[in-house]
Amino acid sequence: MLSNRLQIVDDFRVGFRAQKAWGGSMATAFFFGEAGAGLFFISQFFGFVQGMAVALLMVLIGKGGGHLMHLGRPSRGWRALARIGSSWISRGLFAIAMFAVFGGLHILDVSGKVLPEGLSMLVRAVAVAACLVIMVYQGFAMSHSSSISLWSTGLMPITSLTYSLLAGTMLMLVLGYDSVLAEQPDALRMLKLAAAGLLLYGFVVILAMLHAAKYGSEGGQESVELLLKRDFAKWFVSLVILVGFVLTGLLAAFGPTSYGVMLTMAAAELTGYYAFRVLVFKAATYDPAVSFAAHFRR
């Protein structure tokens, strides 16, 4: 009770304010959405039906469930389709709906050839297009929030795409190890190499994102300090950087191609990725809305 009261008193001072509207359930939804869409996309190249099915479930149950848990009025969630012209949330929901229908049809088609050739191509194209939107729209939705410098960068959709492809590759390495990849050892090595490249690229994107935030505004600087030096530093540095990039990168670049290594690599990358999703929400800071300190200093 006392801490609640102190919080309210503190709210009456000019200063940085933490974003509290999006939390754990949104982070979970974003994680499953991007990882699932990434897996579906990678599975396309190998015609890996089990991977596509797991991906569809991840998006529908993991992402859908996370969003429903987050919404204040979940029964009205369908209304979010109303503003596709201006809202990335609307566009994302539309893509999820298309992905559910056409992704499901595509899986049935790949499993049993139930559609004629032309229609099959069309279903596949729509499913992959919807999948691509799911891979990036969350980054656009976040970067659209100009109030939070940590998010308000064009690098956010690229971060989403990179993490999505990375998670998809890792899951593919684990799920396809004994099936499609066992038949194509070259593909296994190629995917492992691709993972190493994506990790390097992703690491640079994260650094660039932090750099943009730090020099973007005072709120961005506060967010970066929270992530690298203060409250969330132990989690961000250990999980996102060391486990998610360094350990995973070392295993991808120098580890053997055994199942144990693939499993460890995927677990480390997904741990780092989930931690990133949660911490980027937690460290999001609004700039002080109004401050006349500089004016009064004159």
Partner 1 sequence: MAKWGMVFDLKRCIGCNACAVACKQENSLPYGVFFTKTLSEEVGEFPTTTRVYIPTLCNHCEDAPCQRVCPTGATYTRPDGIVMVDGDKCIGCGSCIVACPYDQRTRLEPQMLERGLFGNGKLTPFELHGYARFTPGTAVKCTFCHERVDAGLQPACVATCPTNARIFGDLDDPGSTVRRLIQERRGRQPMPERNTNPRVFYID
Residues making contact with partner 1 (CB under 8 A) = 1, 4, 8, 11-14, 17, 19, 21-22, 26, 70-74, 76-77, 79-83, 86-90, 93, 141, 144-148, 151, 284, 286-287, 289-293, 295-297
Does residue 18 contact residue 284 with C-beta atoms inside 8 Å?
A: yes
| Chain centroid to CA 190 | 23
Q: Nearest approach, Cβ of 289 to partner 1 (angstroms)?
A: 4
The residue whose two tokens read 């049993």 is 112
Q: Nearest approach, Cβ of 288 to partner 1 (angstroms)?
A: 8
CA distances for 88 relative to 95, 222, 266, 286, angstroms: 10, 26, 29, 21
Cβ closest to partner 1, residue 164 vs residue 217: 217
Q: Among 84, 91, 30, which Cα is nearest to 62's?
A: 30
Cβ closest to partner 1, residue 234 vs residue 298: 298
Q: Nearest approach, Cβ of 87 to partner 1 (angstroms)?
A: 4
Cβ closest to partner 1, residue 76 vs residue 234: 76
Q: Nearest approach, Cβ of 149 to partner 1 (angstroms)?
A: 10
Q: Nearest approach, Cβ of 175 to partner 1 (angstroms)?
A: 32
Q: Nearest approach, Cβ of 297 to partner 1 (angstroms)?
A: 6
Give one word for 287, left, alpha or beta, with left for phi > 0 and alpha for psi -120 to 50.
beta
Task: Produce one character per residue of 111-129: b if its CB has 16 or more CB atoms within 10 Å, e if not.
Answer: eeeebeeeebeebbebbbe
Cβ closest to partner 1, residue 57 vs residue 82: 82
Does residue 95 contact residue 137 with C-beta atoms inside 8 Å?
A: yes
Cβ closest to partner 1, residue 156 vs residue 241: 156
Does residue 138 contact residue 164 with C-beta atoms inside 8 Å?
A: no
Cβ closest to partner 1, residue 148 vs residue 173: 148
